[in-house]
Structure 1
Amino acid sequence: MSRNYFHLHLVSDSTGETLLAVSRAVAAQYEGISAIEHVYPLVRSKTQLERALGAIIAEPGIVLYTLVNDDLAAELVSACSQESIPVLSVLDPVVNLFRSYLGTETIDRPGAQHTVNADYFKRIDAMNYTLAHDDGQTGPDLDAADVILVGVSRTSKTPTAIYLANRGIKTANVPLIPGVPLPEALANVRNALVVGLVANPDRIVQIRQNRLLSLNADDDTSYVDRAAVAAEIAESRKLCTRKGWPVIDVTRRSIEETAAAIMELLRTHRLKFVDI
């Protein structure tokens, strides 16, 4: 199927991450249509805005912006309107709702969400912990994790752990390998939430075959044998059932969806400790 393309201009006084996330979430709903993204970050002066406007007028399309400076925002909207270019402030509806409910004005500080604060250092700490406890690197401080992911090879343990770490959640991951006993440290975990990740055997086989292909490795191995993979997954499910660990099937889930489910489990898990 042929694809149609359109120009998408994202003007931000910060990094532009918010605009990218919102626009991509919406664009994904349109099959066969792709956006040619033009990102203009850190637009905080008239000169910078004029430079962005020159590019927008040269290749018109949809314009989304996050500008807390009212003068710059008004100039962008005016220029786009004169050229009949659709333009929208992504944050204004949310800001107005907050203002109405909270009864107070915003501080109008560009990039305020990226200020270095306690949350920033929490994320850095979580990332350092997660990288040090990736792929079975347990150590004596495994129970210092917020979350421990267990699962057979190729169930997206590492990327999910990294995503959670970016949310400030210390995450370790332990591979379940046939014939290899669980790390002793995992048996002694008392505080961390342990979550099992599983997937459809056919999906696991496909991913593993691609992995071997990228390594130019021999694929005549039980690692990609469907019956053997199905047995691995069945055993991992039984293990989680015996241990009382929740299980998430990642077959049709994105990393973000898996992480969201884990974070909800973590909230419930922490409430149990509060009740105690």
Structure 2
Amino acid sequence: MTDEKALQSPIVYVISDSIGETAEFVVRAAASQFNGGDVQVRRVPYVDSQEAIDEIVQAAQEDGAMIAFTIVIPELQQYLIEQADERNVRYVDIMGPMLTALESAYNRPPRREPGLVRKLDEDYFRRVEAIEFAVKYDDGRDPRGLLHADVVLIGVSRTSKTPLSMYLAHKRLKVANVPLVPEVEPPEELFRISHKKIIGLTIEASHLNRIRRERLKALGLTSDANYASVERIQHELEYSDRVMKRLGCTVINVSTKAVEETANMILDLIRQGRTR
């Protein structure tokens, strides 16, 4: 006669001081090695007290279950182990051995902060979303994006709007940028958003002249084209200055600044609440 207990699916209480996804994944991966992995997982996330541990260990004892945990707070971890030992409940510390090994490798203690993996995942996806946003709304392609941007960069051609947008996107900011051209009226969406979200980028005419001449050379064009003429540049800068004054936005002169320096100035403005 087949043992009835052997036919029952094992019960595993997955306990975590975060969401518990890591422990459940490990349990199911291990169970898959046993005839298809039929296992009853009872996940208990966000365990943050000894009282909660008491209830879980008692339930596991009554169910004849085992416990798998990823608790990283030392006091709760030790308490769980003590209670499980006292009640003869089997347990597996999923994170402990790896933390101990890595502590030796890093030569420093772990942070012991719950939920860091999930925070890192969320951070990654926010960065990807911001980069996609910057690409989609680069160079004034779709003015509707201005309404959803965290920061809007405006300025004449070659004031580093696109590199700045991408740099800030890696800081998880949704950035749109709009070129200011005298012959083209700025999009009306620009005047519907808070002036605090707009950063005007300006530059010295002589500096812009050098940049544009080099750009023309790189494209195999003559450097005396209207695009790089001092008169044209002066006209564009005067126009952009008028637009920025109409908007009442913050203006940064990027003449001698690296992209990183300008980006840090913008990040400082955000931290001060001056772009919200």
- The TM-score bracket by the shorter chain reads 0.5 to 0.7
Which residue of the partner structure matches residue 102 of structure 1? none
1:247 shift after superposition: 0.2
1:228 shift after superposition: 2.1
CA distance in 2 between counterparts of 1:267 and 1:73 reads 32
Q: Call closer, same or farther: CA 1:119–1:238 in 2, change over 3 Å.
A: same
Aligned length: 174
Q: Call closer, same or farther: CA 1:107–1:253 in 2, change over 3 Å.
A: same
Which residue of the partner structure matches residue 251 of structure 1? 255
CA distance in 1 between counterparts of 2:143 and 2:231 reads 33
CA distance in 2 between counterparts of 1:171 and 1:192 reads 13
1:198 shift after superposition: 0.8
Deviations 1:64-116, CA, capped at 9 Å, x for gaps: xxxx9565578xxxxxxxxxxxxxxxxx8xxxxxxxxxxxx53499xx89974
Which residue of the partner structure matches residue 260 of structure 1? 264
Q: Which has the larger radius of gyration?
A: 2
Trace 1:89-168 onto structure 2 (pairs within 5 A): 106-107=110-111, 116-168=120-172
Q: TM-score, normalised by structure 2?
A: 0.56
CA distance in 2 between counterparts of 1:177 and 1:218 reads 22
**Unpaired runs of at least 5, structure 2:** 1-100
**DSSP-derived class of the 2:199 partner:** strand
Q: Call closer, same or farther: CA 1:137–1:164 in 2, change over 3 Å.
A: same
Q: Call closer, same or farther: CA 1:246–1:192 in 2, change over 3 Å.
A: closer
Q: Is the 8 A contact 2:195 2:247 kept in 1?
A: no
User: Would you say 1:218 and 2:222 are equivalent positions?
Assistant: yes
Identity %: 34
**DSSP-derived class of the 1:153 partner:** coil
Which residue of the partner structure matches residue 206 of structure 2? 202
Q: Is the 8 A contact 2:138 2:178 kept in 1?
A: yes
**Unpaired runs of at least 5, structure 1:** 1-67, 75-91, 93-104
Q: Is the 8 A contact 1:148 1:193 kept in 2?
A: yes
CA distance in 2 between counterparts of 1:137 and 1:251 reads 25
CA distance in 2 between counterparts of 1:257 and 1:180 reads 30
**DSSP-derived class of the 2:138 partner:** coil
- Answer with 238-247 or 190-199: which moved more: 190-199
Trace 1:46-85 onto structure 2 (pairs within 5 A): 69=102, 71-72=104-105
1:192 shift after superposition: 6.7
CA distance in 1 between counterparts of 2:122 and 2:105 reads 31
- Answer with 132-141 or 198-207: which moved more: 132-141
CA distance in 1 between counterparts of 2:196 and 2:148 reads 7
Supply the AA of the counterpart residue of 1:146.
Answer: D
